[in-house]
Amino acid sequence: MEATIISPENLVYDKPRLMTDVPMHYCPGCSHGVIHKLIAEVIEEMGMEEKTIGVAPVGCAVFAYNYIDIDWQEAAHGRAPALATAIKRLNPDKMVFTYQGDGDLAAIGTAETIHACNRGENIVIVFVNNAIYGMTGGQMAPTTLIDMPTATCPQGRNVELNGYPLKISDLLAQLDGTCLVTRQSVHTAAAVRKAKRMLQKAFENSMARKGTSIVEFVSTCASGWKMTPDQSNKWMTENMFAKYPLGDLKNI
């Protein structure tokens, strides 16, 4: 019976070939898994798996290299764009991307992010913004919303003490070196399909030497937010999208 169901003519969906069979460490309801899958699909569909080098961050996606079957480098916290700069400059025919969270990209790695983008490095930066430090247990991120509680601002983010949520993608869109800055999400089937199109555009830009492309994913962190996956998606839609509206900030 089973064999009939998965015969080629009946196959409507399959796990991307580049996704490994390793069980993922991500929590239920986390956006990382879907974003990983989209990256694997795009690389595979572009036929670039032998030419792609990924740079993993420090944070929840530190083990991204376990899940997508390509060559990877693991960067120090925040330094992924510096690694990617050298990889791409030394190997112009390769497709190079970083995968970074909000703390990695917009706090400790702000200088590396801004300057790689400002040089117009021909790389893709995948930016997962869930407004919290997931890996270390839910501390405040540069993108944490005002009044949003975290382990290091348990009474909620206080502007006087902690400043404002950093809209780093808006800032990056101002730089002459970027060609695509887009904010996407993966909470609905439609959003997933749209996000994949933008991800592919970003990778194509990098090979066409158009400059730096940034795909921000406004994401959930059910564990860090202390919500169910369903609540997380709802909360993200109501609160995160208000501060980080989806759509293209720059697309040239």
Partner 1 sequence: MAEEVKFMKGNEAIAHAAIRYGADGYFGYPITPQSEIMETLMDERPWETTGMVVLQAESEVAAINMVYGGAACGKRVMTSSSSPGISLKQEGISYMAGAELPALIVNVSRGGPGLGTIQPSQADYFQTVKGGGHGDYRLITLAPNSVQEMADHVALGFDLAFKYNNPAMILTDGVIGQMMEKVVLPPQRPRKTEEEIRREQPWATLGKTKDRKRNIITSLELDPSIMEENNIRFQAKYRRIEENEVLYEETLCEDAEYLIVAFGSQARISQKVVEMAREEGIKVGLFRPITLWPFPKKQLFEYSKKIKGILTVELNAGQMVEDVRLAVECRIPVEYYGRLGGIVPTPDEVLVELKKLVK
Contact letters (x/-) for partner 1, 24-63, by CB under 8 A?
Answer: -------------------------xxxxx-xx-----x-
Establish if 67 lies at the interface with partner 1 (CB under 8 A): no
Q: Find the binder of partner 1 among 94, 167, 196, 201 (CB under 8 A).
A: 94
Establish if 83 lies at the interface with partner 1 (CB under 8 A): yes
Nearest to partner 1 of 22, 146 (CB atom)? 22
Q: In whole angstroms, what is the distance from residue 80 CA to residue 34 CA?
A: 21
Nearest to partner 1 of 44, 145 (CB atom)? 44
Establish if 115 lies at the interface with partner 1 (CB under 8 A): yes
Nearest to partner 1 of 116, 222 (CB atom)? 116
Establish if 104 lies at the interface with partner 1 (CB under 8 A): no
CB 59 within 8 A of CB 134: yes
Using DSSP bridges, classify how beta strands 95-101 and 124-129 pair: parallel, antiparallel or unpaired. parallel
Establish if 175 lies at the interface with partner 1 (CB under 8 A): no
Establish if 89 lies at the interface with partner 1 (CB under 8 A): yes
Establish if 72 lies at the interface with partner 1 (CB under 8 A): yes
Binding footprint of partner 1 on the chain (CB under 8 A): 49-53, 55-56, 62, 65, 69-76, 79, 82-87, 89-91, 94, 111-112, 114-115
